Chains A and B, each alone.
Chain A
Amino acid sequence: MTTKPSSTHKLLTAALVLPLSGCDGLQSVLQPAGKEAAEIATLFHVLLVGAVVLWILVNGIFFYVTRLNPRPLSRRAAETLIIGGGILFPTIVLGILLAWSMSLMSSQRELGNAPVSVSVTGEQWWWRVQYRREDGSLLASANELRLPAGERTEVTLTSNKVIHSFWVPALAGKMDMFPGRVTRLALQPETTGTYRGQCAEFCGTSHALMAFQVVVMEPNDFERWLDDQAAPAKEPEEALALEGRQVFLREGCGACNTVRGTPAAGTTGPDLTHVGGRTTLGAGILPTTPDAFTRWIQHTESIKPDVYMPSYEHLEQSVLEALGHYLKGLS
């Protein structure tokens, strides 16, 4: 069921991208890992070839008549050019392109009987994620999306406050997220791996710092992971981590963030129950190492300008380290 990208467009992609950079293409339209993105990449490659040919043709004619062979031609030839090049040719080509794109349009956004359903809410500047489980319960997470390969997923999008846009180039086109309105997107990842998504609608000061990771897993792994996520937070074992939990609760972190299994039950900020197991911190901008947690909590406002969470610069380094240790342990 996995539709591999065609070899021609792989080749084209390679020809375009490889000589240019050694990039890993985490966020690239040209390296699709999902059905929707692959279809669009094929469309793009056809368009690209057509555009290059037409560009050369039009400018070639111009160059020919002004430089290479600047002698008067008949009026008839000129009128043929206007009618042929200006009307007939574009009508046919555009008709074909429109038919193709319209057929893609309806299939791309079709939900089918999507077995997986996730809702994502745009916040300033992070992503609130909720998985709808088979029993109808909702499982809260943030800033990371895990999806099973080869299955159709319905993503329900909305926003708190301002407009954002949900975009994972390797999987599909983007969809805007509005306050007071629900939009939908269908995804069908095909290749396992980690991909990057980023907010694509300007949403304020730190718009640039609103990213997330999508981890595409084998369906069985995904189910197992989902069960793990449903469990409450792990009990810290080390002394440092235990101290970190005390600090977390003492400093009032729980007023904004939830850590299931502890008194922390705030919902203004991201759910942190399994934050240590995520691939990134701060909505795709830092790794989830204990150091990164410490740095983030200490300098939140300078790392992410205008963010709602205050910096905890007044805390001592050792206290912050304990906190970082505790959070990293929440895997």
Chain B
Amino acid sequence: MSLRDDANGCYPPTEAMLDEPVDEQWQDNSKRRLRDVWKTPAGWRYWSAVNNSEVGKWYCLTAFFFMMCAGVLALAIRVQLAVPENDFLSAGRFNQFFTMHGSAMMFLFAVPLFEAISILILPGMLGARDMPFPRLSAFGFWCFVIGGVFVLGSVLFDAAPDSGWFMYPPLAIESEGIGSDIWLLGLSFIEIASIAAAVELIVGVLKCRPPGMRINLMPLYAWYVLVVGGMILFAFPPLIAGDLLFELQRSFDWPFFDPDRGGDPMLWQHLFWIFGHPEVYIIFLPSIAIAAMVVPTVARRPIVGYSWIVLSAVGTGFLSFGLWVHHMFTTGLPALSLGFFSAASEAVVIPTGIQLFAFVATLMVGRVTLNVPMLFIAGALAIFTAGGLTGVMLALAPFNWQVHDTYFIVAHLHYTLFGGMIFPVLAGIYYFYPVFTKKVLSPRLGKWSFWLLFTGFNITFLPMHLTGLLGMPRRVYTYQTGLGWDWLNLISTVGSFILAAGFLLFAWDLLRPKSREPDTARNPWNAGTLEWTHDVPEEAWGIRSIPYIRSRYPLWDQEKLVERIDAGRFYLADAAEGKRETLVTSVLDAKPIQCMRVTGPAWITLIAALFTGGAFIFPTFHIYTPAVICAVFAGACILYWLWTSTAPIPEQDRKPVGLGLSLPIYASGPESAGWWGVWITMLGDATAFISLVFGFFFYWTTKTDFPPVGSEHANLLFMLLGGAVLLGAWALTLYARDSNTKGHVARARKALVLGIIASFTGMALVIWSVRSTGMDPQAHVYPAIIHALLLWLTAHVAVGVIMQGYCLAGSLFGKLTPRYDADLQNICLFWHFLGFTIVVCVLVMGIFPRWL
């Protein structure tokens, strides 16, 4: 490739260019400027930080804190079950405790911790200065804190959910008090924050890699982030759709799960497990990803079977969506579907096995150095293989019929989660700790806590296999003596305290002050990936200059890389305009395409999270007015934040970023990170919508009387008319974009005004077509699901209108011009999805029921 074949200047850099010395004076000056720009706010302003190193740290510690809380609940459970007919906990409290133990471990620890760790280390691995949307990370974190404290705090007031973490209706619907509402609303709130983080992580991997790091050169961790982010995107929305239906029944008595009015509790089980099983792999894969970083370092050579691992990770991700029915083997489904899901559940062994054997193979060809991270990886393997082998047993339906919902399952799931998550994460913490602190955790305490955890874990959970085989069901607050369970339970309880001691020792090692200990080298394990060039805590800029990458292990393979990075030889070594900047590159081959300005410290994210929290928390107590007010304020905060800090018009069109390369500062459409953010978010949104539509067809296929004979339907004429007008609003939005691009600004504005009018008119017609009939959502599930779709459509059209208004205002106040049109490009993408939603809604609400 010639040096001048790109409009942006020289790329890629030649060896000669990289060899050129950097002016010392300039090095000092640029360093100072860069340091100023990336400075972490001090004092109480510290909490307005949005940089990934701070937010990631808070996020990790918060998730760890929630884990310890959920662990205390587990200890209480173990004390209650230590002896038969114990009365340490009442039945009601025990049920709250086991529900919260599971819910908190899943929603407040396992998934958020993946996102937390990724926010913390991913930019480092990719040589990026920060995540692409730092304020979104901060917003997600604050939502997580508020939601987590609310949900977990309910335990202290004897008001926690008590129907199990799976919340099966009708039990959870009939449950008195606000427990179920806390679960549904509190956790939905956190799930939305999780999706936001997933969107950001995916965009980070796709668009914020260093120049030259083609997609097949990126660290395996980034691949796993991509896979897991994608899984979150498709797994959480069905649950959110389920939560919506559930809460509509709890609050307004729309009978989605009530068999007396045509509903079906099985719909929830399907939606829950379509989420619930991928969730297991959402937890497991990131930890494998950590192992994939630790193993090559320990073996001192590149991973064996990189492509195998990537394919297996993607394969596991896909397969995990086809396994959910193995949680429902005892619900009396037809043998054919049991057979299919049984085979699919076994099939997932293969990609999992490939990944594990690839690690073993890497260790085989390398020269292994044993250290504390490796000890935890070894423990993880021992535990996980046991959990995996019982998983093979459980995927066989007949065996599953016996041990489903017994302590055998409790043992199995803890083996997979400890082996597949806790131990690798601990390995990761020991491994990555020096990246952020320049200290190592104590190897002596590390070994102690490892052996306490390992023996404690096995003493607790190994006997549970037998307890389950001897017939002890899960979720029982007490048991009778004489069934052979007594002393097995006692052993488990003893083991759980040893396990807890291991965690306490680890926590002490993690949090104890270490300022007196000498700093370690920047790369104490002699690893090969970019995060080890970090110079934290001294420097908050992430990386001194963003390097050009040609290898999977650049620190091993690229000579003088660190010196050149430190000298500012590479890209973006300066912050001449005093703005935080990072590079945006192309998705596949990582060619630099934009110098993106990212946002700095702000309080607006915290304020927006508080109001969003209010909008979710007030309805728990059936207080709706303050909830609506909070929702409006939350929306206003988010608009303010978007208006003031996203896609600002730069003071110059492009700037030199080093090594003879000059890049545009502004990008719109598919070149920009924002467009990818919208696109990925909308995939998740569409998944939730499809889950609702799935509900409709689920009732249709499983119920003989859906819709009931002689039931009223939506008015067809108004429905079609409304749909057509709404599609007109879509067309007008697209027309506005095209006119704006061509420079016809006045025409674009007119189209947007007409678009807003069309949105209102069309939506009014659709609402009228349903509401003018006698369809009563409380009477039967048919009108209820139609109303749920109507609600969904209305909310989305409302967002569409706000977007049209936002762009209109942008055009009027000079934020949106024919050249700087990212907002208009992005809302068109939203409207494409909305167009799809409109068409499906009209078909399902208006036309399809008449055919049946």
Say whether A102 faces chain B, with CB atoms less than 8 Å apart: yes
Q: Mark A84-104, 1 if CB is under 8 A from B, else 0.
A: 011100110010011011101
A263 within 8 A of B: no
CB <8 Å contact, B332 and A162? no
Are A173 and B170 within 8 A (Cβ)?
no
The reply on A40 being an interface residue by CB < 8 A is yes
Chain B: minimal CB distance from A102 (Å): 5
SS class of chain B's interface: helix, strand, loop or mixed?
helix
B374 at the interface (CB under 8 A from A): yes
Contacts A71-B367, A87-B350, A97-B396: A202 and B475 contacting too (C-beta < 8 A)? yes
A27 at the interface (CB under 8 A from B): yes
**A contact residues around B171 at 8 Å (CB):** 162-163, 202-204
Chain A residues, CB < 8 A from B619: none
A310 CB, nearest partner CB in chain B, Å = 17
Chain B residues, CB < 8 A from A24: 482-484
Count chain A residues whose beta carbon lies closer than 8 angstroms to a beta carbon of B. 92
Interface status of B364 (Cβ within 8 A of chain A) = yes
Question: Closest approach, in angstroms, between the C-beta of A166 and any C-beta of chain B?
Answer: 9
**Chain B residues in 8 Å Cβ range of A105:** 335, 338-339, 342, 397-398
Judge whether A178 is part of the interface by a CB distance below 8 angstroms: yes
Interfacial chain A residues near B508, Cβ < 8 Å? none
Q: Does A154 contact B (CB under 8 A)?
A: no
Could you tell me if B361 and A173 are in contact, using CB atoms closer than 8 angstroms?
A: no
The reply to whether B402 and A29 form a contact with Cβ atoms under 8 Å apart is yes
Choose from B92, B266, B365, B469 the contact partner of A78 (Cβ within 8 Å): B365
Is A113 part of the contact surface with B, judged by Cβ < 8 Å? Answer: no
Which residues in A have their C-beta under 8 angstroms from that of B163? 202, 204
CB distance from B353 to the nearest CB of A (A): 4
CB < 8 Å: which of A20, A78, A209 contacts B364?
Answer: A78
A323–B471 CA distance with the chains assembled, in angstroms: 34
B404 touches A79 (CB 8 A): no
Q: How far is the CB of B757 from chain A (nearest CB, A)?
A: 47
Residues on the A chain within 8 Å of B260, using CB: 180
**Cβ–Cβ < 8 Å partners of B305 in chain A:** 78-79, 82
Known: A28-B484, A165-B405, A208-B91. A23 touches B470 (CB 8 A): yes
**Does B259 count as interface, using CB distance less than 8 angstroms?**
yes
Answer whether residue A288 sits at the interface, using C-beta atoms and an 8 A cutoff.
Answer: no
Q: Mark A199-213, 1 if CB is under 8 A from B, else 0.
A: 111111111110100
B836 in the interface, Cβ–Cβ < 8 Å?
Answer: no
Residue of A61, A174, A305 with most partner-chain B CB within 10 A: A174
- Which residues of B, 77-136, contact A by the 8 Å Cβ criterion? 90-92, 95
**143-189 of chain A: CB within 8 A of chain B:** 161-163, 165, 167, 169, 172-176, 178-181, 183-184
From A13, which residue of chain B is reached at the shortest CB distance? B469
Q: 1/0 per residue B150-169: CB within 8 Å of A? A: 00000000000011100010
Tell me whether A98 and B346 are in contact in the complex, defined as CB-CB below 8 angstroms, given that A62-B360, A165-B405 are known contacts: yes
Residues of B within 8 A of A94 (CB): 346-347, 349, 392
Task: Take A27-B483, A66-B368, A72-B366 as given contacts and tell me if A98 and B342 are in contact as well, using a CB distance cutoff of 8 Å.
Answer: yes
**Beta-carbon contacts of B169-212 to A below 8 Å, as 1s and 0s?**
01100100000000000000000000000000000000000000
A49 to chain B, nearest CB (A): 11
Do A29 and B469 touch (CB < 8 A)? yes
Task: Evaluate contact between A30 and B259: CB separation under 8 angstroms.
Answer: no
CB of B331 within 8 A of chain A? yes
Chain A residues lying within 8 Å of B266, measured Cβ to Cβ, are 178, 181
Give per-residue flags for B256-273: 1 if the beta carbon is below 8 A from chain A beta carbons, else 0. 000110001110000000
In the complex, identify which listed stretch (B40-48, B382-390, B496-504, B766-774) lies at the interface while the others stay far away. B382-390
B83 CB, nearest partner CB in chain A, Å = 14
- Using known A-B contacts A21-B487, A66-B370, determine if residue A47 contacts B392 with beta carbons closer than 8 Å: yes
Q: Which residues of A contact B466 (CB under 8 A)?
A: 16-17, 20
Which B residues are CB-close (under 8 A) to A27?
470-472, 483
Residue of B nearest to A86 (CB): B354
Q: A66-B363, A74-B365 are contacts. A163–B170 as well, Cβ < 8 Å?
A: yes
Chain A residue with Cβ nearest B262: A180
| CB <8 Å contact, A40 and B479 | no
24 of the cross-chain contacts (CB-CB < 8 Å) are A21-B484, A21-B487, A25-B470, A25-B484, A26-B471, A51-B390, A59-B381, A65-B368, A70-B368, A73-B364, A86-B350, A86-B358, A100-B396, A175-B330, A178-B259, A178-B266, A179-B170, A202-B405, A205-B162, A207-B95, A207-B477, A208-B91, A208-B476, A306-B92
Given contacts A66-B374, A82-B305, 14 further A-B contacts (CB under 8 A): A23-B483, A23-B484, A25-B470, A39-B398, A44-B393, A47-B393, A55-B386, A59-B382, A162-B171, A173-B398, A174-B401, A198-B473, A200-B405, A207-B477
